[in-house]
């Protein structure tokens, strides 16, 4: 059986995408990488079992829009995937097709076609945060007489205090901490390598200073992970499964004291809780959006289940801020077209 040249090219790009590009350039999230792998595996399985594609017939035609739309139907019918799962699978396939087009121009149209496929409508799940009592109870659970207990407490304080994403926290390196400044802060590298500065409250800064001195010494390596694995040392960060196991352990203890603590506790609930508490304390939704690293204000509104009244206030705030900075174009100072369009006048 002679393998087609196009099939070899596609297979090589799939391997490079999953094993090299995605983990080194696209994301460090274990869950996202797994999603890429699962989605591509399901698509190849569909091509082989349903469409009868093999090594001799695999081609760019197999990734065109009609095939993808049929695959989405197959996911629902054969694997009983819900709308949200189908959307995730489609998103992962699009990421690969974008990569494929960037590596070989003959495949570029595939990503454009896939991008035109509508996402399935689905009901957004509400993320339940934590009450203030639940957070307080959880913070009291770690045994601070042990090194692991002190590490766990510091991690939870920082996770809640900054409302950072779990991967942002696990990827944090010593060089990103600025604890000796007048306003201690951490430089967070978020999605899309977007950088933001998160200031640390005195309690979080104090715990972090003690932790860094104990676990990293007086002169930490800037490239060391702040929260590292004991198996790999400072060059290997703690894994998400390790954090999940740790949080579930404390959740079981805390739940007996405070029923608000869910037994299925996960790291994202700290982020949601802090954002909700910021909102309750009267912080502006625009500030919360920045601190969370959301690119769009609407994301924050949906994320926090913002009420219509709160949304109106947020938009009013944006409008008032813009009014302060931008002169309305209809109130044109000199009546010139250049001034109206906001460009420099070239008249002599």
Task: Write the CATH number for 197.
Answer: 1.10.443.10
Across the range 43-72, mean pLDDT stands at 91
Q: What count of other Cβ atoms lies within 10 Å of the Cβ of residue 291?
A: 21
Same domain for 187 and 100, yes or no, is no
* Higher per-residue pLDDT: 287 or 72: 72
Cα–Cα distance for residue pair 211/205, rounded to 1 Å: 10
Last residue of a domain, one of 234, 265, 281: 281
Q: What angle do CA 239, 244, 246 make, to 5 degrees?
A: 95
Looking at the structure, tell me whether residues 141 and 270 fall in a common domain.
yes
Domain annotation covers residue 141: yes
Query: Taking the complete model, does pTM exceed 0.85, yes or no?
Result: no
Task: Inform me whether the pLDDT recorded for 99 exceeds 90.
Answer: yes
> Which tens digits make up the pLDDT trace of 113-126?
999 998 888 766 66
Whether residue 27 has pLDDT greater than 80:
no
Residue 325 lies in a domain: no
Q: What is the pLDDT of residues 219-256, one digit of tens each?
A: 999 999 999 988 888 989 898 899 999 999 999 999 99
Q: What is the pLDDT of residue 26?
A: 79
Selected residue with higher pLDDT from 265 and 282: 265
Residue 158's nearest CA partner among 143, 179, 131, 175 is 179
Residue ending a domain, among 281, 314, 339, is 281
The answer to whether residue 172 is domain-embedded is yes
Same domain assignment for residues 154 and 255: yes
Structural domain including 270 reads 132-281
pLDDT at 337: 42
pLDDT over threshold 70, residue 329: no
Identify whether the C-beta of residue 237 lies closer than 8 Å to the C-beta of residue 96.
no
Within a domain: 211: yes
Higher pLDDT, 141 or 323: 141
R_g over Cα of the chain: 25
**Structure confidence at residue 31 (pLDDT):** 78
DSSP string, 9-54: HHHHHHHHIIIIIIIIII---HHHHHHHHHHHHHHHHHHHHTS---
Choice among 4-8, 124-128, 147-151, 309-313 with the minimum mean pLDDT? 309-313
159 domain residue, yes or no: yes
| DSSP letters spanning 184-218 | -EEEEE-GGG-EEEEE--HHHHHHHHHHHHHHH-S
Query: Is a pLDDT exceeding 50 seen at residue 75?
Result: yes
Residues 99 and 138 in one domain: no
Domain end call among 115, 144, 164: 115
pLDDT reading at 333 higher than 60: no
Instruction: With respect to residue 225, please indicate whether it lies within any of the assigned structural domains.
Output: yes
Give the Cα separation of 156 and 211 in Å (integer).
12
CA distance 337 to 334: 9
Question: DSSP class of residue 1?
Answer: -
Which among 162, 156, 122 has a CA at the least distance from the CA of 138?
A: 156
The CA-CA-CA angle for residues 50, 52, 58, to 5°, reads 120
Q: What is the mean pLDDT of the chain?
A: 84
Residues 212 and 234 sit within 8 Å (Cβ to Cβ): no
CA torsion angle 269 271 275 276 (round to 10): 10
Lowest mean pLDDT among 42-51, 81-90, 315-324: 315-324
Q: How many domains does the chain have?
A: 2
Planar angle of CA 55, 40, 78, nearest 5 degrees: 95
The answer to whether 157 and 263 have CB atoms below 8 angstroms apart is no
Specify whether 103 is located in the same domain as 150: no
pLDDT for the residue numbered 340: 46
User: φ and ψ at 196, to 5 degrees?
Assistant: -140, 155
User: Which has the higher per-residue pLDDT, 266 or 194?
Assistant: 266
Gap between the Cα atoms of 129 and 152, Å rounded: 19
Same domain, 20 and 98: yes
Q: Is residue 289 part of a domain?
A: no
């Amino acid at each position: 059986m002679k393998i087609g040249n196009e099939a070899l090219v596609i297979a090589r790009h799939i391997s490079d995408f999953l094993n090299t590009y995605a983990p080194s350039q696209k994301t460090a999230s274990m869950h996202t990488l797994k999603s890429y792998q699962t989605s591509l595996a399901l698509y190849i399985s569909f091509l082989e079992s349903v469409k009868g594609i093999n090594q001799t017939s695999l081609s760019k035609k197999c990734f065109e829009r009609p095939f993808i739309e049929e695959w989405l139907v197959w996911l629902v019918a054969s694997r009983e995937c819900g709308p949200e799962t189908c959307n995730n699978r489609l998103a992962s396939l699009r990421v690969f097709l974008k990569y494929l087009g960037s590596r070989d121009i003959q495949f570029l149209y595939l990503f454009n076609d896939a991008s035109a496929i509508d996402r399935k409508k689905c009901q957004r799940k509400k993320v339940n945060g934590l009450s203030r009592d639940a957070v307080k109870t959880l913070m009291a659970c770690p045994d601070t007489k042990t090194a692991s207990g002190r590490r766990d407490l510091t991690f939870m304080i920082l996770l809640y205090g900054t409302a950072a994403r779990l991967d942002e926290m696990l990827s944090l390196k010593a060089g990103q901490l600025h604890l000796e400044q007048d306003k201690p802060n951490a430089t967070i590298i978020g999605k899309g390598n977007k950088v933001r500065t998160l200031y640390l409250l005195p309690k979080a800064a104090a715990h972090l200073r003690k932790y860094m001195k104990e676990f990293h010494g007086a002169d930490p390596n800037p490239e060391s992970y702040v929260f590292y694995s004991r198996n790999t040392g400072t060059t290997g960060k703690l894994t998400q499964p390790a954090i999940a196991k740790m949080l579930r352990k404390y959740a079981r203890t805390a739940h007996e004291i405070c029923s608000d603590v869910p037994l299925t506790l996960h790291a994202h609930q700290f982020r949601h809780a802090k954002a909700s508490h910021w909102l309750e304390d009267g912080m502006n939704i625009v500030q919360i959006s920045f601190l969370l690293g959301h690119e769009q204000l609407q994301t924050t509104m949906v994320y926090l289940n913002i009420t219509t009244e709160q949304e109106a206030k947020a938009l009013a705030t944006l409008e008032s801020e813009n009014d302060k900075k931008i002169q309305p174009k209809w109130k044109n100072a000199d009546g010139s077209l250049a001034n109206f369009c906001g460009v420099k006048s070239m008249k002599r």
